[in-house]
């Protein structure tokens, strides 16, 4: 089963064009949608989740028309939105049983087994009798995944799931997502580069409602081979360097500023080549360099 999006556009009444002719092919497995806040990710996720209509375009999930067969899509959809609320006094097992009834799992024995299996899968079985108001942020996110997994969905959408989680909870949550991504189409929408790098076999980068790159992370990094250069600079040097060269990122390392520059050849004797990482892909795309790199590679292949 594949999710196929073609020429999707959405403009809000205030004139904001949230999506501009978005087209994507999303196979089974983990697919990352990466972009900064306000890039259009949540609008796209809500449209795929049948909560919002586009102005133009089509979406199909296998044989289903997502925009016209919303009821059928919802039967096979699991959705974990960016923000959701549960009554703080509700207890995890009882509330999950309630959601299971709403999902159509009416036979009590089957429902009990499904709820237990999901609470164990999300590592919440030992706290099944506790109130959700006592849960940490990561525990609440894992409970949201349990709700999303009810009914064995074929399409699962998780929107900004690790934002605000501490490092330990983030690792637990990513491990959980990697497990559920084996048998379904799972879309991970996030602004956190590491989440996509660690989890997703395919990804797209979106900005201002447009898809800037759709690729495999490893392939995208390979395209930058020999084009990323690094140098340590002082704070006084940084502003001048940014005016003179295509600096794609800066970071502090042991109190020193490290700049990464995109260039087809060495930008100077003080620079050293660096193995491209996925952060370099993201920042290169946002600066417009990676698309030119891919286009040049395609042209070279066509000429050979």
Domain check: are 210 and 226 in the same one?
A: no
Domain check: are 86 and 157 in the same one?
A: yes
Res 252: pLDDT: 82
Q: How many domains does the chain have?
A: 2
Domain check: are 54 and 75 in the same one?
A: yes
Res 34: pLDDT: 95
Using one digit for the tens of pLDDT, what is the confidence trace for 123-142? 899 999 999 999 988 888 88
Q: Which of 245, 283, 249 is nearest to 264 (CA)?
A: 245
Domain check: are 200 and 165 in the same one?
A: yes
Q: Give the global pTM.
A: 0.85
Angle between the N-to-C axes of helices 167-180 and 137-148, in degrees from 0 to 180, rounded to the nearest 10:
10
Q: Are 243 and 198 in contact (CB under 8 A)?
A: no
| Residue 298 reports pLDDT greater than 70 | no
Q: Rounded distance, CA 187 to CA 203, Å?
A: 9
Residue partners of 247: CB distance under 8 A and separation at least 6: 241, 259, 260, 261
Last residue of a domain, one of 215, 230, 254: 215
Domain hosting residue 70, numbered range:
3-215
What is the average pLDDT across 237-257? 86
Q: Rounded distance, CA 244 to CA 246, Å?
A: 7
User: What confidence tier does 290 reach under pLDDT thresholds 50, 70, 90?
Assistant: low
State the chain's mean pLDDT as an integer.
88
DSSP state of 133: G
Region class of 5: left (phi > 0), else alpha (psi between -120 and 50), else beta: beta
User: What confidence tier does 106 reach under pLDDT thresholds 50, 70, 90?
Assistant: confident
Domain check: are 201 and 182 in the same one?
A: yes
Q: Which of 212, 214, 216 is nearest to 200 (CA)?
A: 216
Res 87: pLDDT: 83
CATH value at residue 148: 3.40.50.300
| Residue 299 reports pLDDT greater than 60 | no
Res 43: pLDDT: 94
What is the average pLDDT across 277-285? 94
Domain check: are 171 and 208 in the same one?
A: yes
Q: Rounded distance, CA 116 to CA 96, Å?
A: 9
User: What confidence tier does 291 reach under pLDDT thresholds 50, 70, 90?
Assistant: low
Q: Are 72 and 59 in contact (CB under 8 A)?
A: no
Last residue of a domain, one of 215, 244, 260: 215
Residue partners of 58: CB distance under 8 A and separation at least 6: 4, 5, 6, 7, 8, 65, 67
Domain check: are 47 and 107 in the same one?
A: yes
| Residue 301 reports pLDDT greater than 50 | no
Using one digit for the tens of pLDDT, what is the confidence trace for 17-56? 999 999 999 999 999 999 998 899 999 999 999 999 999 9
Give the SS3 label for residue 5.
strand
User: What confidence tier does 4 reach under pLDDT thresholds 50, 70, 90?
Assistant: very high
Q: Kindly report the backbone phi and psi dihedral angles of residue 271, in degrees, each rounded to the nearest multiple of 5, phi listed first.
A: -95, 150
Q: Which of 230, 209, 208 is nearest to 279 (CA)?
A: 230
Q: Are 130 and 91 in contact (CB under 8 A)?
A: yes
Domain check: are 137 and 270 in the same one?
A: no
Using one digit for the tens of pLDDT, what is the confidence trace for 186-224? 999 999 898 898 889 899 999 999 999 999 999 999 999
Q: Rounded distance, CA 55 to CA 12, Å?
A: 9
């Amino acid at each position: 089963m594949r999710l196929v999006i073609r020429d999707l556009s959405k403009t809000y009444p205030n004139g904001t064009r949230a999506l501009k002719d978005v087209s994507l092919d999303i196979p089974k497995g983990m697919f990352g949608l990466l972009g900064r806040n306000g890039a259009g990710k949540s609008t796209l996720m809500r449209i795929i989740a049948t909560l919002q209509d586009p102005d133009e375009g089509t979406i199909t999930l296998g044989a289903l028309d997502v925009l016209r067969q919303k009821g059928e899509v919802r039967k096979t959809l699991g959705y974990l939105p960016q923000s959701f609320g549960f009554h703080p006094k509700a207890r995890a097992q009882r509330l999950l049983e309630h959601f299971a009834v709403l999902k159509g799992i009416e036979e009590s024995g089957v429902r009990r087994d499904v709820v237990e299996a999901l609470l164990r899968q999300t590592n919440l079985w030992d706290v099944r009798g506790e109130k959700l108001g006592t849960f940490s942020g990561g525990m609440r996110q894992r409970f949201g995944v349990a709700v999303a997994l009810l009914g064995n969905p074929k399409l699962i959408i998780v929107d900004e799931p690790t934002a605000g989680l501490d490092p330990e909870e983030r690792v637990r949550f990513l491990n959980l997502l990697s497990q559920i991504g084996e048998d379904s189409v799972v879309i991970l929408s996030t602004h956190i580069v590491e989440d996509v790098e660690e989890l997703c076999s395919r990804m797209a980068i979106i900005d201002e409602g447009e898809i800037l790159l759709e690729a495999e992370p490893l392939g995208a990094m390979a395209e930058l081979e020999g084009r990323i250069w690094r140098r340590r600079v002082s704070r006084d040097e940084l502003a001048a360097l940014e005016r003179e060269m295509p600096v794609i990122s800066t970071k502090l390392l042991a109190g020193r500023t490290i700049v990464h520059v995109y260039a087809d050849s060495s930008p100077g004797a003080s620079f050293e080549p660096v193995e491209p990482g996925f952060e370099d892909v993201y920042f290169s795309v946002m600066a417009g360099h990676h698309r030119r790199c891919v286009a040049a590679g395609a042209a070279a292949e066509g000429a050979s």
